Amino acid sequence: MTGRAHMEKTIRSLYEARVQGDLDGTMKDLAEDAVFSFNGRGTGVQAMSQDCCGEPAVRKMVEQLISDWRFDDWKERALLVDGNKSALHWTARVTFVPTGKSATMEVVDVITFRDGKIVEFRQSTDTVMLLSMTS
């Protein structure tokens, strides 16, 4: 099992890289068979409705997210660890770069580790707000 300190450090490092727009830094601790998903099945948007599976597919998605969505004033609100799972509650001023629209978002990520690597990353936020920023 992956230790608590390692999980906390890995998650904080991932978000430090994400806020800076660093794709390699964001991806460095993901397992080859990692799964990424948004909790957005009711949106009708495929990218928010289906799991993204495997490091190459996740990398492509994260690259697009970094390109389209800028995070400012990112703050960790709580980071809980239980066994191989963690829950990160965070807020940030999120901007959809193509429209320039911004909103303060509240997000919860559930992250699962195996052998020191992230194998599952599930994100929940206000998907209606996200969609409103894209038009």
pTM of the model: 0.93
Minimum mean pLDDT range among 5-19, 21-35, 42-56? 42-56
Q: What is the pLDDT of residue 108?
A: 98
CA dist., res. 28 & res. 24, Å (int): 6
End-to-end CA distance of the chain: 44
Q: What are phi and psi of 53, to 5 degrees?
A: -115, 135
Q: What are phi and psi of 103, to 5 degrees?
A: -160, 155
* Boundaries of domain holding 15: 4-133
**Domains identified in the chain, total number:** 1
Q: What is the pLDDT of residue 1?
A: 62
What's the CATH number where 41 sits? 3.10.450.50
Q: Sheet containing 69-82: which strands, arranged edge to edge? A: 52-53, 30-38, 117-124, 101-114, 85-96, 69-82
Both tokens of 13, joined, read 């490092």
Q: What is the pLDDT of residue 66?
A: 94
- List Cβ neighbours of 49 (8 Å cut-off, separation of 6 or more): 38, 40, 41, 43
